[in-house]
Structure 1
Amino acid sequence: MSRKLCFETICCENRALKNLAYHEARLNRTRHELWGYSDYWNLSELLIIPDHVDHTLHKCRVSYSQEIEVVKWEPYAYRNIRKIRRVYHDAIDYRYKYEDREELNTLFAQRNDADEILIIKNGLVTDSLYGNVAFYNGITWVTPNSPLLPGTQRAFLLESGVIKEERISEDDLANFNKIRLFNAMIGWENAVELGIDCID
């Protein structure tokens, strides 16, 4: 399986790139750990917002390895999520944001009539297909400490104190009443929020 390319998805709103420091940190850490590069990329210098990108929400996708391979800009549309299905994979590894998402797509194909999946690995809750998750226990929003990929929005929310990190097993889901799904494109204020009974 080819894993030559990784990518970052960066939110561009009002012609400004959001949470850029978190994306830079992950990108540079990935380049160092996967390929041994020690130089530091400054994304604010490397990414020039094109004239056709207006003030509405846009997605900037940066594919890279040794160099930046492709930068794509496109309008972003929110997904409609009403039902989530649990899927299971005890060996899945997505610690880096690989362009090759074959294993994730195979899990997504198991969703049947659901709109999204919740991936369980070795009995622990990890992520959905497109982002991280948090659960509400009536007092606090908590996110699993076992994500497949610690997202940039997740890092921002943890640092801001909006969410806390805990070990969450599949059995623990019964202790929560809500779930939120978020990623780099979906900030906390726009996160999909559903009752825990929407998880099948």
Structure 2
Amino acid sequence: MEEIGLIMLFETLAINNGRILNLDYHNRRFKQGQLFLHCQTMIDDIANIINISDEFDNKFIRCRVTYDKYSIKVQYFDYTPKSIQSFKLIECNYIDYTYKYDDRNLLNQLLSQKGDCDEIIIIKNGLVTDCSIGNLLFLKDNHWYTPDTPLLQGTQRAYLLEAQKIHLANIDKNDIWQYEKVMMINALNAFDENRVVLIKNIKE
């Protein structure tokens, strides 16, 4: 069995015009990750290890914080959103992404099965979970719902739930077609109806 200290986790944060977005939600998950790894040095506020440069003014930056039990690394990248116009349903009953693992090999293997679609929707034990890069929202009767069986408790999802802008729903694979639209959200992609995908653009 892999030694707990060798497992690596990461956080992806959005820095918009020099400001870290949804910081409180990242700190919650960062704390959970550090406790899971039994990190030697606990960091209460992830902002303390992020260097907000003047170069970030008027920019949207992807900040990646990678850490294990013993070490931590912070990287900064310019961000270009992924265009998603279609999804492919992919089933995998053994995937576990409770924590934001740095090892994404299984996710990448599943994504490689997308065919001519842009992204995948992962079905686990018959239930809708996430796509390969974020949580999912589904529109029905002017209300947005998110699966109550996500692979990962995303920070954007947590914010929208607490703000009561979205609602939890148990979404079976066969229930998808009752909805009208789907949207991917993550730390770098906030709720934006300009990014919705029609349900008819989901392939089985």
TM range (shorter): over 0.9
Q: Is structure 2 residue 122 aligned with structure 1 residue 119?
A: yes
Distance 2:193 2:48 in 1: 28
What is the number of residues matched between the two proteins? Answer: 200
Q: Is structure 2 residue 170 aligned with structure 1 residue 167?
A: yes
From 178, 181, 188, give the equivalent of 1:178: 181
From 163, 182, 189, give the equivalent of 2:192: 189
Distance 1:13 1:190 in 2: 20
- Given that 2:37 and 2:68 are in contact with CA atoms closer than 8 Å, whether structure 1 keeps it comes out as no
Distance 1:168 1:148 in 2: 13
Distance 1:128 1:15 in 2: 28
Residue ranges of structure 1 left out of the alignment (5+ in a row): none
Residue ranges of structure 2 left out of the alignment (5+ in a row): none
- Given that 1:180 and 1:191 are in contact with CA atoms closer than 8 Å, whether structure 2 keeps it comes out as no
SS at match of 2:10: strand
SS at match of 2:84: coil
Q: Structure 1 residues 59 and 36 mapped into 2: Cα distance closer, same or farther (>3 Å)?
A: closer
Letter of the aligned partner of 1:127 in structure 2? D
1:10 corresponds to:
13
Q: What TM-score do you get using the length of structure 2 for normalisation?
A: 0.92
1:61 corresponds to:
64
Q: What TM-score do you get using the length of structure 1 for normalisation?
A: 0.94
SS at match of 1:147: coil
Distance 1:52 1:68 in 2: 26
CA drift at 1:45: 2.0
Over the matched positions of the two proteins, sequence identity in percent amounts to 35
- Given that 2:18 and 2:53 are in contact with CA atoms closer than 8 Å, whether structure 1 keeps it comes out as no
CA drift at 1:190: 6.4
CA drift at 1:74: 1.0
SS at match of 1:81: coil
Distance 1:121 1:174 in 2: 17
- Given that 2:137 and 2:183 are in contact with CA atoms closer than 8 Å, whether structure 1 keeps it comes out as yes
Within 5 Å, give how 1:113-152 maps onto structure 2.
113-152=116-155
From 91, 103, 107, give the equivalent of 1:88: 91
2:31 corresponds to:
28
CA drift at 1:139: 2.7
- Given that 2:18 and 2:54 are in contact with CA atoms closer than 8 Å, whether structure 1 keeps it comes out as no
Q: More displaced, 146-155 or 60-69?
A: 60-69
